[in-house]
Amino acid sequence: MDLSVAKKLKDSDERINISNHFKIVAGPGAGKTRFLINHINHIIEKSDKISDIRKIACITYTNVGVETIISRLGKSIDYVDVTTIHSFLYLNIVNPYLWVLEDDYKFDFINIDGHDDIVPTFSIMNEWKRRTRQYALNDNNKLAKELSKLHWYLDDGELILRFKEIWEGKVGSYNIKKDSYLEYKKICWEKGLLSHDDVLFLSIKIIEKSPRILEIIRGKFPYVLVDEFQDTNPIQTKVLKLIAEKETIVGVIGDECQSIYKFQGADVTQFTEFDLPELKTYYIEDNHRSTQEIIGILNYMRNDKNFHQESPENKHGHKPTILIGGFIDSYNEAIKLCNKDELYTLSFKNELCNMIQYGIDNYFSENIFDEFIFSDGDRGKMIFYIIHSLECCKQDKFKDAIKYMKKAYRKIKDFDDKATLENLKRLYNLYSRIQQINIKELYNNYIFGFYGVKAKVTSGKANNYYKNLTYNKVACVITIADDDGKFRTIHKAKGDEFKNVLLLLEPKEQYNEETELSFLLNPDMGNESHRVYYVALSRTMENLYISIPQLSDENRRKLNNFEIREVRTKS
């Protein structure tokens, strides 16, 4: 992105004109949230368009981001609606105006209650096969996995339901027919189920059917400000541009080097090429978060002559450290080096950082989710969702804990809200015992016989599988929404900052040195995996540690900006 024509702001406190569309490029630690809060207060102070009923829409991409902005707004929150992009569209377009599409699609209006990830049930798949006459697709486990991969895309301006990759959508030797994709969605809608990206599709369709709804949105929100805009996708951008055609002032804030959600449909060019009439572009360069030693590595990775960060406070600290050894050894060494201060452990894959949390030092299958959800029918789903519920409870995510406990017992008659809470309390009180056992013991001793659950695990494939699978290994692959614990994926750490960070690369069994260290040896910000690691390193305020299983002499010489320590356990 060419910043040579953009205006540099001296810091996040500098004010800009509230009457123009704008784009802000802000690197890590630049204070973009501070700028956003200041700009909101500036609008409230100066604009005659803001009132109790005409508010500023402030949109970000995670619930953690929403909570952060709300906590900093203070009394100004009375004039601001802070939501994620999906919540904004659901609350202001889909929920109140879905009836506009009732002649085009059939919806269960009574049971639609928000949006969520959808795993197709056997009843959904059987109905879909009946309607589309694809009875040859008899592997329901594989079919469920493939249907779950269908997403909406904006291809050449047209909304298309398709698979991301051309090789997806195959069940056995048969391909799912293209003209049957939409039928799957229709069946879900008839059952009151909306996925996250259904919200995007339906928002566009509602606006196309009734353009006057845009006037209502503009009337409610004379200003729309979008944080983390580098993570937007083309459908979201289209909605935003439709709103911005008249009256409403739009501002977007982001950083192309922190765009890390391509797997969810994000397209960094939506930010770099975003434009509106008379839009002004600015950038904030300094990094108030990290030491100069860490900033130096970030600048090296970024390699942008028009964007070079410094620490305005001239913060200095230790060299970032590479720890050579296993995960557990690296973690123990990092704890020692940061003098028992809080250490946050980050990894690309969820199960890697959780291996340390649950004390697992050998790598294992990352397909546990698929094996539970798609290979053992309703029993597998029940076990997995119970464990998910308990892990949410462990992190005080009680709303999610209740949601997953209800999912686990969705087919159990009379399992109501009271039973949900009683069962969650019963199992969580046993957590210290449950996490020490295998899945067969968990099911036979603590699930079977309660609330009408019948049939122990006694023989067959499931018996052998569950007997050799521990609770902690399943817990390792559980993904907690808005995870704010000390062991997180890099994506879950986005928008946060920590004094001490341990970054885990691949374990020895999966490790290829040239590939895994390429983000340091030959950084390329056009490569999303390099941007993910850029985000990880940039979360660090003072002490950065990177754990790798081995390092060649040649690469050791190249990484001279790091301190290198061997931490392998002596035999």
Annotated binding site for ATP: 26-33
Phi-psi category of 169—alpha, beta or left, where left has phi over 0 and alpha has psi -120 to 50? left
Q: 401 is written with which tokens?
A: 């804990």
Would strands 80-84 and 56-60 be described as parallel, antiparallel, or unpaired? parallel
* β-pair partners for 566: 324
Q: 321 is written with which tokens?
A: 């450290």
Q: How far is it, in rounded angstroms, from Cα 517 to Cα 564?
A: 14
Q: 340 is written with which tokens?
A: 């028992």
Q: Which of 125, 91, 93, 97 is nearest to 109 (CA)?
A: 97
Q: Which of 114, 53, 54 is nearest to 89 (CA)?
A: 114
Q: How far is it, in rounded angstroms, from Cα 347 to Cα 128?
A: 38
Q: 410 is written with which tokens?
A: 């969705």
HSE at residue 31, side-chain half, CA atoms within 13 A, is 19
HSE at residue 293, side-chain half, CA atoms within 13 A, is 16
Q: How far is it, in rounded angstroms, from Cα 370 to Cα 367?
A: 5
Q: What is the DSSP string of 451-488?
A: TT------SHHHHHHHHT-BHHHHHHTPPPTT--SSEE
HSE at residue 433, side-chain half, CA atoms within 13 A, is 9
HSE at residue 364, side-chain half, CA atoms within 13 A, is 19
SS3 (DSSP) at 222 = coil
Phi, psi for 84 (deg, rounded to 5): -75, 165
Task: Calculate the CA 446 to chain-centre distance.
Answer: 32
Q: What residues are designated binding site?
A: 26-33
R_g over Cα of the chain: 25
**Cβ count near 499 (within 10 Å):** 13
Q: How far is it, in rounded angstroms, from Cα 133 to Cα 69?
A: 50
Element (H, E) at 324: strand 321-324
Q: Which of 524, 23, 47 is nearest to 301 (CA)?
A: 524
Q: What is the DSSP string of 243-295?
A: HTTTT-EEEEEE-GGG---GGGT--THHHHT---TT-EEEEE---SSS-HHHH
